Amino acid sequence: MIRVPAAACFLLIAASTLGLRAADDADTPDAGWQVGVASAKITPQRRMQMAGYAGRKEPAEGTEQELYGKAIAIEDSGGNRVVMVTLDLIGVVEKLRAEVAGQVQTQFGLPPHALLMNASHTHCGPAYRRDDAQDYFATLSSTLVKLVGQSLERLQPARLAYSVARCSVAMNRRTPTKDGFVNHPNPQGPVDHAVPVLSVRDPENDELRAVVFGYACHNTTMGFLRWLGDYAGFAQQYLEEDHPGVTALFMMGCGGDQNPYPRSELKYAAMHGRSLATSVEAALEVNQRTLRHQHEITGPLQSVLETVDLEFATPDRPDFPYPVQVIRFGNDLMLVALGNEVVVDYALRLKRELATPDGPAVWVAGYSNVYDGYVPSERVLVEGGYEARSRPWKPTLEARIVGKVHELVNRTQP
């Protein structure tokens, strides 16, 4: 396995720019959090077709890095729960979401609105929705249900904190030319370099137990015929190796029009992963004598999940029920989870519109709860290019999605 030296690609963001409220540990009340984590390998045990690139006709030839499913269960003092499941997969297809959510509700009493499923979008994972992959699908769904159960069984007292850093792995991939927008690195295009981090610590000894971290960039450094979590897999691996006993969970952001550069060599996937892991370390303020950017989360916990109908421009094509989820930790942190391959404009706009000086901090994730093509912004849809051609959406899609987010946020006021 490739190891690379740490890369200093991070820069801490001032709390005032993100609507964060610094908390004095001495004045922070006990929020009564209970947290449990679980992980399991989901690497295929037989040769299978790979997801992401249609040009690859042959099945995977082996494993470069194990793929994982991970779950973190969080419960507040009032018994409100959410479980976040992260996956080293291309996406969360509707069938997988429905199967897992149904079983989790039946077996553990966890309602669908309290389950968030997010995929890293690695293009070196299995094409698990194919007809010839149903054996893997059955094993996968069963494993994920068990993971949720294990995370709930392992609930124990914890402290939660939110922090953020920056990492410059991503670059906008939409370059304007005389022939329109082409898929090529564009250093002038919009990006979201924020690395949001939710940390879980033991309330007695302050030892780190888990970190959930995000980034907005296609997880596509490689496209060879081997199983690989790509840069997000390496970032999780390095964090867990550098902090024995800690579970690291990656949550993909709105990276639909973002790529990691350079690409196409395994060393770059490892380097990008090390850069991202280093940014997480920066957000955690590792080796700092005085911690000044760890924003204690006190709750209460709320979650809501609804769909909004997106209209197609193609006549007689039914509307698409698009999932929007909001998980709110009191007035300290608000996680907005959007489905499909969302472009970066959504994260930038929502953070701009929702963040306020007195909180909560705003974390926007994409690739959540459904995977069925790109969701361009109105700007990208008008400009055209690869992301705009994915589906024939009507230009109203951005207004509808953002409107639904605001509606759900208003319903989760503490």
Q: What is the pLDDT of residues 337-374, one digit of tens each?
A: 999 999 999 999 999 999 998 889 999 999 999 999 99
Question: pLDDT per residue over 192-213, tens digit each?
Answer: 999 999 999 999 999 999 999 9
Domain ranges of the chain: 1-414
Question: pLDDT per residue over 147-188, tens digit each?
Answer: 999 999 999 999 999 999 999 999 999 999 999 999 999 999
User: What is the H or E stretch that residue 382 is in?
Assistant: helix 378-383
Rounded CA Rg of the chain: 20
Q: Within 266-368, where are the H helices?
A: 266-283, 344-354
How many Cβ atoms are within 10 Å of 12's Cβ, its own excluded?
A: 16
| Cα–Cα distance measured from residue 198 to residue 196, given in angstroms and rounded to the nearest whole number | 7
| Cα–Cα distance measured from residue 267 to residue 121, given in angstroms and rounded to the nearest whole number | 19
C-alpha angle with apex 113: 111 to 119, nearest 5 degrees?
A: 110
Tell me the pTM.
0.92
Question: Token digits for 174?
Answer: 């939409």
Check: CB of residue 195 under 8 Å from CB of residue 217. no
Write down the mean pLDDT value for the chain: 92
Q: Which residues pair with 72 in a beta bridge?
A: 37, 84
Question: Token digits for 190?
Answer: 């919009």
Least confident of 3-17, 173-187, 291-305, 381-395: 3-17
Check: CB of residue 82 under 8 Å from CB of residue 227. no
| Cα–Cα distance measured from residue 80 to residue 124, given in angstroms and rounded to the nearest whole number | 36
| Cα–Cα distance measured from residue 112 to residue 208, given in angstroms and rounded to the nearest whole number | 29
Q: What are phi and psi of 408, to 5 degrees?
A: -70, -35
Band of residue 30 on the pLDDT scale cut at 50, 70, 90: low
Cβ neighbours of residue 289 under 8 Å, at least 6 residues apart? Answer: none
- pLDDT score for 29: 45
| Cα–Cα distance measured from residue 266 to residue 246, given in angstroms and rounded to the nearest whole number | 25
Question: pLDDT per residue over 49-74, tens digit each?
Answer: 999 998 899 999 999 999 999 999 99
Q: Is 238 helix (H, G, I), strand (E, B) or coil?
A: helix
